[in-house]
Structure 1
Amino acid sequence: MKKIRYQIGLSALVFLLVSIAGFAQTKSAKIDALVQQYVANRQFNGSVLVAEKGQVIFKKGYGMANMEWNIPNAPDTKFRLGSITKQFTAMLIMQLVEKGKLKLTGKITDYLPDYPKATGDKITIHHLLTHTSGIPNYTNFPKFFETQSREPVTPESFIKTFSNMPLDFEPGTKFSYSNSGYFLLGTIIEKVTEKSYAEVLNENILKPAQMINTGYDLFGPIIPKRAAGYEKKGNAYVNAPYLDMSIPYAAGSMYSTVEDLYRWDQILYTDKLLSASGKAAMYTPFIDGYAYGWGVGKAKIGQLKDSLLVIEHSGGINGFNTIISRLPKDKQLVVLLNNTGGAPLGDMRKNIMRILYDQSVEAPKKPIADLLRQSVLNDPLEKTKQKFSAWKADKTYAVDENEINALGYELMREDKDKEALVVFNLNADAFPESYNVYDSRGELYKNMGNKVAAIQDYKKSVALNPRNTNGFLMLKELGETVEVPKQEGVVVDKATLESYVGEYQLAPSFSIVITREGDKLYGQATGQSRFELFPESKTKFYLKVVDAQVTFSSNDKGEVEQLTLHQNGQNMPGKRLR
């Protein structure tokens, strides 16, 4: 089951570019026209700021900061940032390192003596910063948001909810996004400085950067121009569920404006907060393109010959999603802050970057969730199926697995299980290779008391994705004894890995280049960061940066001639070019 969490928005793979005609000539006008299309599709409600070569060329608010009082969004509206907070936490850590109060090689137990030694003695500050600690992510705990997220906590007491849990893997060996790690970093900051996280943040970053409209977002204080958070419910919006902000803490507790994030961007080009060498360390990716609080990688923009370095991070928190993207070579900046949750900010950012570099953009597609909801509540089943097939065939509509999945859960929360089942069935039919569609439908069957169907779907889910921990937990709860397979035992010899090296074209302007380093295989898609491929078998590999798999195929002579990308329920073949 996928839920809105505070998590890094690592770029998904994009395949088709469609030009939009009719924009005005200036870049600011083009950006406004583009964003207006997302607004018209009910895909964006928030504020935008774009800087070119260090200078702001566009800033504007869209929709409402407060729908109950009809207060519009503006460039100085304050939004919750979610995981963009992590880059500020990383900066505070690096400042303490430069002052000699912390060491990147220091262990958790060096600073938090009460932390369990079995794991705390081998997890370093570096591991926490790079999401390679192996500590389970607390926002992934079953029913966390329903049962724990509303109650205020102290950092010391909350750490106990995950500190004694076994590690998911040996520290430093894998990337696995963990809010728990950044929660610990906040606690370490407080321990070392003997001040609250909010105080240290204000003194060491916000004041020097003159970010007067940024801070720690607590429920109690009156904060002028603070946006309310909303979520879609059918054709309308509802207030987002309450979340006590002591829960996200140093992993996602901040609020800011697009204007203040521009000030943050600008001060990062100086040495006022951190030395040049400190920033170089902060921007150096460790595993899967993640550095210290930032995702770092090369991106291809439109038809530009050379890929450009992008430093970025996204965030998602109840009722909000956000992104900040920096291209340091040309001092380009895109900041998107949204207060209706679930906006396609990654696609918006890519399109705005294309405008900055005079490239064609991808036409925003209309979402179908509202239409599907209306149909499933009012039309006969066969009529809904016919409409769904028509939407899938119409290239102006976006048939998105996650969006359909979210609608199913929305109907479940409204006790419309019959209608939810129709939606989950349609999603499974549309994306039959996605483990998540079966995990979600399994949960519905479980809630409906259909144990046999629930077990069947959960088994299908874990078969498609042996790393679906939730699926195994649910099977165990349903009385099924299914052992979690150990994928780490799969070893592919170097000669076989070398045979996969080459370029595979999946579309005229989109390829995946496969390389090998020792006994590891890597892929890099056009305009994307390099990612490691992990073997499930001798011919099939999986990615960790996104939910996707890659299969290599050979001809009758044993020559590798094709790569197939399995993602979002689709199988996309790519012919080997070299």
Structure 2
Amino acid sequence: MNRPQIFVLVFICLTGYLTKSVAQIRKEQTELIDRYLSVQQQSIGFNGTVMIAGNDSIVYRRSIGKASLELDVRFSPDPVFRIASITKQFTAMLVVLAAEEGKLALGDQLRKYYPQLGQSDWGNITVRQLLIHTSGLPHNEGIADYWQKISFLPLSDQQATDEVFKLKLLSVPGAKTQYSSPGYFILASILEKIYHQSYGDILREKITAPLRMDHTGVCTATAIINGMVSPYHQLADRLITAPHRDYALMKGSGNLYSTASDLLKWNMALNGSGHFNKTVTDQIFAIQNAQQVNGRNESYGYGWFLRRSSSRERDFNFTGGGTYGCSAISGYYPNANISVVILSNVSTLPVGEMQSGIESIVFGDRFDIPVVRNAVKLEPLQLYKLQGTYTADNGHQLAIFLRGDQLYAKMGQNPFFELYASDSTVFFGKKVPVQVEFEKDSNDTIKGLTASFKGQLVHFVKNK
């Protein structure tokens, strides 16, 4: 055997060992994940299920917290959760399958299915643009009075469609990227037109029944779903019953429920099991949009975010979801054959940060368990003085503001988050792993702050 052959053999053996060791998860890693989840329950109020599979078998599963706080009921072995935007994975697959069957083409324009759109920009929107969020359609907030009124209403399908078609395009179709759930509502409606079936029936026939995903389906406002957990919403530092949101306008974009084990079946079916034609899965996981989608740095396929890493083992295909009573993320490491699902019945939890922490543990990185920090109560006047806009050297701006007696921070277009005091000038985030230390001058006036985030320090000066 010559030297190059020996090198190849050693590489193959080493790669196989690494994949096996990661996929199996050692006892000390399991214990570290247990500790991490316990800390996350204390610090951010995590309440839900984590499941990890390696080499197509479950290597870790744990539920922590309660399925019903009112009834003091713990989670069942495989609880049912709302999965919000993870729904988009399924809609995208159904669309690509329909294209494979010749039922539609990804280049079809909307006027083919909605002749009333005529020659308008709306009519020029293609199926593919809807899939990758370049249609020009806004997100839900583009619907007038969406959060104040429309999101509560049990609209008929025609009424929901009319609301979507009232939207004003933010750009010419194909010109810019704008994350849009209404775009996936239209995709689901097109599927119903071409198959002459409901979205739920199409999903069952094409995906959930063949894969025996027996606990995955369509949510409605009135259906009683066996095993479904009660929904909660985290408001500042307390839990409340999740506000109502009707599913009428969430068809195809956020109206599904599932379990962690069903989502593992789904991940496995998409990644090498052979259930779906390779030409289909290759399209799903090819980079279709390299621009930022929904503010994320990862590229976008069809319904999936695609993180491509310098270490191929860390390539990660995933989708996150969030709505009232739901924080979720489901993803797959195709080159390590590892699947991770995190589902919670509490909204606004940073499950993406949790996935990142679990990834570090699973892949054997150095990982320090977060410290549970207790907040102290400050006088309203102390908090009032901290308010303002702060600017960093790179031009980024951080807004600090009060709502009631709770201090919040907001960076650019990112969602705002709560800040809690550990003393009079040092604050920390629970949902966002940040520490903020305010600076005073000799007159006790706030002049700036230093923010620490993931090991990076950024100094901000308070605007006058």
Q: Could you tell me which residue of structure 2 aligns to residue 359 of structure 1?
A: 365
1:312 to 318, 335, 339: 318
Superposed displacement of residue 43, structure 1? 3.3
Conserved 8 A contact 1:320-1:340: yes
For 1:238 and 1:62, locate their aligned partners in 2 and report how far apart those are by CA, in whole Å. Answer: 18
Query: Does 1:381 pair with 2:411?
Result: no
Superposed displacement of residue 435, structure 1? 6.4
- Cα pair distance change 1:385/1:150, threshold 3 Å: closer
Q: Could you tell me which residue of structure 2 aligns to residue 73 of structure 1?
A: 75
Paired amino acid for 2:301: A
Paired amino acid for 1:315: G
Tell me the alpha carbon deviations over residues 235-267 of structure 1, each in whole angstroms, 9 at most, x when there is no partner: 532111011112211100000111111111121
Tell me the alpha carbon deviations over residues 363-389 of structure 1, each in whole angstroms, 9 at most, x when there is no partner: 436578xx47xx36xx3523x579x89
Conserved 8 A contact 1:97-1:103: yes
Q: Could you tell me which residue of structure 1 aligns to residue 164 of structure 2?
A: 162
SS in 1 for 2:330: strand
SS in 2 for 1:144: coil
Tell me the alpha carbon deviations over residues 82-131 of structure 1, each in whole angstroms, 9 at most, x when there is no partner: 00000000111111111100101111121232345402332111100001
Alignment of 1:213-362 (within 5 A): 213-233=215-235, 235-270=237-272, 273-287=275-289, 288=291, 289-299=299-309, 308-362=314-368
Paired amino acid for 2:229: A
Conserved 8 A contact 2:110-2:126: yes
Paired amino acid for 2:199: Y
For 2:68 and 2:118, locate their aligned partners in 1 and report how far apart those are by CA, in whole Å. Answer: 45
Superposed displacement of residue 291, structure 1? 1.0
SS in 2 for 1:50: strand
Contiguous gaps of at least 5 residues in structure 2: 1-25, 292-298, 388-397, 419-450, 460-464
- Cα pair distance change 1:271/1:100, threshold 3 Å: farther
SS in 2 for 1:204: helix
SS in 1 for 2:124: coil
Superposed displacement of residue 167, structure 1? 1.9
Q: Could you tell me which residue of structure 2 aligns to residue 48 of structure 1?
A: 50
Superposed displacement of residue 173, structure 1? 2.5
For 2:249 and 2:164, locate their aligned partners in 1 and report how far apart those are by CA, in whole Å. Answer: 13
- Cα pair distance change 1:234/1:54, threshold 3 Å: same
Superposed displacement of residue 201, structure 1? 0.7
Moved more, 40-49 or 136-145: 136-145
For 1:206 and 1:152, locate their aligned partners in 2 and report how far apart those are by CA, in whole Å. Answer: 26
Conserved 8 A contact 2:121-2:172: no
Conserved 8 A contact 1:47-1:75: no
For 2:309 and 2:75, locate their aligned partners in 1 and report how far apart those are by CA, in whole Å. Answer: 30
> Percent identity between the aligned chains?
27
Moved more, 204-213 or 343-352: 343-352
SS in 2 for 1:145: coil
Conserved 8 A contact 1:149-1:247: yes
Tell me the alpha carbon deviations over residues 503-543 of structure 1, each in whole angstroms, 9 at most, x when there is no partner: xxxxxxxxxxxxxxxxxxxxxxxxxxxxxxxxxxxxxxxxx
SS in 2 for 1:139: helix
Alignment of 1:7-18 (within 5 A): none
Alignment of 1:37-186 (within 5 A): 37-115=39-117, 117-141=119-143, 143-186=145-188
Conserved 8 A contact 1:45-1:338: yes
Superposed displacement of residue 357, structure 1? 1.3
For 2:239 and 2:458, locate their aligned partners in 1 and report how far apart those are by CA, in whole Å. Answer: 36
Q: TM-score, normalised by structure 2?
A: 0.75
Paired amino acid for 2:110: I
SS in 2 for 1:161: helix
Q: Could you tell me which residue of structure 2 aligns to residue 557 of structure 1?
A: none
- Cα pair distance change 1:380/1:283, threshold 3 Å: closer
Tell me the alpha carbon deviations over residues 429-448 of structure 1, each in whole angstroms, 9 at most, x when there is no partner: xx6x746799x9xxxxxxxx
For 1:89 and 1:34, locate their aligned partners in 2 and report how far apart those are by CA, in whole Å. Answer: 33
Report the aligned-residue RMSD. 3.2
- Cα pair distance change 1:273/1:125, threshold 3 Å: farther
For 2:102 and 2:412, locate their aligned partners in 1 and report how far apart those are by CA, in whole Å. Answer: 48
- Cα pair distance change 1:152/1:367, threshold 3 Å: farther
2:29 to 27, 38, 63: 27
Tell me the alpha carbon deviations over residues 130-180 of structure 1, each in whole angstroms, 9 at most, x when there is no partner: 011001222344641221111112333222223244421222222210011
- Cα pair distance change 1:227/1:299, threshold 3 Å: farther
- Cα pair distance change 1:74/1:62, threshold 3 Å: farther
For 1:255 and 1:348, locate their aligned partners in 2 and report how far apart those are by CA, in whole Å. Answer: 21
SS in 1 for 2:49: strand
Conserved 8 A contact 1:43-1:344: no
Conserved 8 A contact 1:115-1:163: no
For 1:366 and 1:115, locate their aligned partners in 2 and report how far apart those are by CA, in whole Å. Answer: 55
Tell me the alpha carbon deviations over residues 275-327 of structure 1, each in whole angstroms, 9 at most, x when there is no partner: 10111011112222111000012146xxxx55632100000011211001210
Q: How many residues align?
A: 383
For 2:128 and 2:413, locate their aligned partners in 1 and report how far apart those are by CA, in whole Å. Answer: 32
Paired amino acid for 2:148: E
Paired amino acid for 2:33: I
